[in-house]
A and B are shown apart, each in its own frame.
Chain A
Amino acid sequence: MNFDFSDDQKMLKEQVRKFLTDKCPYSVPRRILDSDEPYAKEVWKGLVEMGLTGTAIPEAYGGLGLGALELCVIAEELGRAAAPVPFSSSVYLASEAIKLFGTEKQKQTWLPKLAAGEIIGTFAISEGLHAPSAANIKTSFAGGKVNGVKTPVPDGDIADVAVVVVNAGGKVALAIVDLKGAGLSHEVLRTFDPTRSHAEITFKDAPAELMDGQGWEQVSRILDGAAVLFAFEQVGGAEAALEMARDYSLERYAFGRQIGSYQAIKHKLADMYVKKEIAKSNAYFGAMMLNDEGAELPEAAAASRIAGCDAYVFAAQENLQTHGGIGYTWEANTQFHYRRAKLLALTVGAAIQWKEKLVARLEAKNAA
Chain B
Amino acid sequence: MDFNDTPEEATYRAQVRSWLDKNAVRKADAKDLPLPKTLEEVLKQSKAWQAKKADAGYACITWPKEWGGGGGTTIQNVIYGQEESNYAVPGGIFAIGLGMCIPTVMAWGPEDAKKRYVGPAVRGDEIWCQLFSEPAGGSDVAGLRTRAEKDGDEWVINGQKVWTSGAHYSDFGIVLTRTDPNVPKHKGLTMFYIDMKSPGVEVRPIKQMSGGSDFNEVFFTNVRVKDSQRLGNVGDGWKVALTTLMNERLAVGGSQGNADADDLIELARETEIAGEPAIRNGAVRERIANWYVQAQGLKFTRFRTLTALSRGETPGPESSISKIVAANKMQELGSFGMDLQDMGGVIRDRSVSPAEGAYTEQWIGAAGYRIAGGTDEILRNIVAERVLGMPQDVRVDKDLPFNQAPRGK
Q: Which A residues form the contact surface with B (CB < 8 A)?
A: 125-126, 128-136, 151-152, 189-193, 198, 251-258, 262, 264-265, 313, 317, 320-321, 324-325, 327-332, 334-335, 338, 342-343, 345-353, 355-357, 360
Q: A132-B342, A152-B344, A320-B209 are in contact. List 10 more A-B contacts (CB 8 A).
A: A131-B274, A152-B347, A190-B349, A192-B360, A255-B140, A256-B140, A330-B206, A342-B335, A349-B343, A350-B340
Instruction: Report the minimum CB–CB distance from B400 to chain A (whole Å).
Output: 8
Report the bound CA distance from A351 to B343 in whole Å: 11
Known contacts A133-B272, A257-B396, A258-B408, A189 near B339 by CB under 8 Å: no
- Determine whether the beta carbon of B207 is less than 8 Å from that of A330: yes
Report the bound CA distance from A346 to B274 in whole Å: 15
- Determine whether the beta carbon of B207 is less than 8 Å from that of A190: no
From A189, A350, A360, contact of B349 by CB (8 A): A189
User: Which of B345, B346, B380, B381 is packed against the most chain A CB atoms within 10 Å?
Assistant: B346
18 contacts between A and B (CB under 8 A): A129-B271, A129-B354, A131-B272, A151-B347, A189-B347, A189-B349, A190-B348, A191-B346, A192-B360, A257-B406, A264-B381, A321-B370, A327-B371, A330-B208, A342-B363, A349-B342, A350-B345, A352-B284
- Determine whether the beta carbon of A252 is less than 8 Å from that of B409: yes
Q: Does B275 contact A (CB under 8 A)?
A: yes
Instruction: Report the minimum CB–CB distance from B320 to chain A (whole Å).
Output: 14
- Determine whether the beta carbon of A152 is less than 8 Å from that of B271: no
Report the bound CA distance from A131 to B273 in whole Å: 7
Q: Does B160 contact A (CB under 8 A)?
A: no
A interface: dominant SS:
mixed
Residues in B whose Cβ lies below 8 Å from that of A321: 367, 370-371, 375-377
- Determine whether the beta carbon of B272 is less than 8 Å from that of A136: yes
Residues in A whose Cβ lies below 8 Å from that of B207: 329-331
Chain A residue at minimum C-beta to C-beta distance from B343: A126
Residues in A whose Cβ lies below 8 Å from that of B209: 320, 328-330, 332, 334-335, 338
Known contacts A130-B272, A257-B406, A321-B375, A343 near B342 by CB under 8 Å: no
- Determine whether the beta carbon of A325 is less than 8 Å from that of B407: no
Report the bound CA distance from A344 to B335 in whole Å: 13
- Determine whether the beta carbon of A256 is less than 8 Å from that of B405: yes
Residues in B whose Cβ lies below 8 Å from that of A332: 209
One of B9-17, B131-139, B223-231 at the interface = B131-139
- Determine whether the beta carbon of B368 is less than 8 Å from that of A328: yes
- Determine whether the beta carbon of A125 is less than 8 Å from that of B370: no
Report the bound CA distance from A189 to B338 in whole Å: 16
